[in-house]
Amino acid sequence: MNRVAGVLNVALVGCGHISGQYLASMERLTNVRLVSVSDVNDAAAQRVAGEQGVPVRSWTHVLKDDDVDVVLNLTPPQEHARLTVEALEAGKHVYLEKPFAVSLAEADEMLEAAERTGRRIGSAPDTVLGTGIQTARWMIDQGKIGQPVAATAFMMSPGHEGWHPNPGFYYLNGGGPLLDMGVYYLTALVTMLGPITQVMGMGSRARMQRVVPDGAPRAGETLPVEVDTHITANLRHASGALSTLIVSFDTVASRLPKIEVYGTEASMSVPDPNRFSGVVSVARRDDSEFVHVGEKAGYLDAGRGFGLSDLARAILDGTGHRQSAALGYHVNEVMIRVLESADHRRAVHVQSTCERPVAVPLSETVVA
């Protein structure tokens, strides 16, 4: 295989729904290139391989291929740890979809493997690298809202079975609204307000089984529910700020905002952290009307895969990458501690911490 200077070779494992968004972005990213695809579903792998003009490879072949620099792990959460550790031990760096892992034991195993092998892990979500969350962070860092005091974050949804082609895993261990969607909100909160030290959570599930509605890809199927599908959490940041999070797969509709941050001098409305862009607006003490803030920071026209490109940049430069293992692990632990708190009905301390990722200047390309 011919190598290209300044470009890392990427093997995709997991050709499911989300892979299309990554592959669309990779066409625009100059420091990564797709060299193969893998999936236990051969039809899915063949389809993606045909679209991308690359071969289908077995997982064993990928591990033995010295030309593969990075494994892009887009498999279901239950497979993240095993495949990530195997890739690291084969000398590959790994960028994986959220959530980082389904248990602290698996997350620990992944970190230990990365340290032992000297290879890196990068972790989604990379939506925080776009102009929406980065502009909100810029406003905080520049003191535009004063000292951050608190934040609220809401993800209210009826669930994914109405549209997703394979929704069952969302309701199994490793799924649920917190690990699936809360990770976007928590990563945004940590990016803006810093690490979290203590949590208190409560959870419920409206149904023990869910029936896929008419008109959906899997209409009529019954899905077992193994996880809580409505979760609330109070979070204490190391900075002293307090955040409130609600995530739900049990709500028909909602008018709640996505995220708001409250400072001593102003309140700020923050766009959907599952998107890379969106309107940031601020209401100040002298004018309670929210006023739109223009884009101040972040990657313009970003998409899923910019975190992968940032990992590649860091590997090539020998510097740090923004969507680091430490950040992914910390957010993952926060979610698991929330679930632990809900189970034990008490506040729980978060043992890990992380640095806020390096801010992203307003840019069209991936930069240090």
What's the pTM?
0.95
- When the pLDDT of each residue in the chain is averaged and rounded to a whole number, the result is 96
> Are 280 and 132 spatial neighbours (Cβ–Cβ below 8 Å)?
yes
The SS3 of residue 174 is: coil
How high is the pLDDT of residue 173? 86
Give per-residue pLDDT as tens, 65-102.
999 999 999 999 999 999 999 999 999 999 999 999 99
Give per-residue pLDDT as tens, 170-200.
999 888 999 999 999 999 999 999 999 999 9
Does the pLDDT of residue 359 top 90, yes or no? Answer: yes
Does the pLDDT of residue 364 top 90, yes or no? Answer: no
What residue ranges define each of the domains in the chain, with the CATH number in brackets?
A: 8-123 (3.40.50.720), 128-292 (3.30.360.10)
Residue 169: pLDDT band with limits 50, 70, 90: confident
Q: Take residue 145 and report the two structure tokens written for it.
A: 């809202």
Give per-residue pLDDT as tens, 228-261.
999 999 999 999 999 999 999 999 999 999 999 9
How high is the pLDDT of residue 360? 97
Give per-residue pLDDT as tens, 31-74.
999 999 999 999 999 999 999 999 999 999 999 999 999 999 99
Give per-residue pLDDT as tens, 295-346.
999 999 999 999 999 999 999 999 999 999 999 999 999 999 999 999 999 9
The SS3 of residue 124 is: coil
Does the pLDDT of residue 287 top 90, yes or no? Answer: no
How high is the pLDDT of residue 288? 82
Tell me the C-alpha distance between 120 and 311, whole Å. 8
Q: Take residue 161 and report the two structure tokens written for it.
A: 């079975």
Q: Take residue 217 and report the two structure tokens written for it.
A: 């890809």
Nearest CA to 133 out of 262, 296, 285, 248 is that of 296
Tell me the C-alpha distance between 63 and 86, whole Å. 8
The SS3 of residue 151 is: strand
Instruction: Kindly calculate the radius of gyration of the chain based on its CA atoms and give it in whole angstroms.
Output: 20
Give per-residue pLDDT as tens, 14-37.
999 999 999 999 999 999 999 999
Does the pLDDT of residue 368 top 70, yes or no? Answer: no
How high is the pLDDT of residue 177? 97
Q: Take residue 137 and report the two structure tokens written for it.
A: 């962070």
Q: Take residue 98 and report the two structure tokens written for it.
A: 């959220």
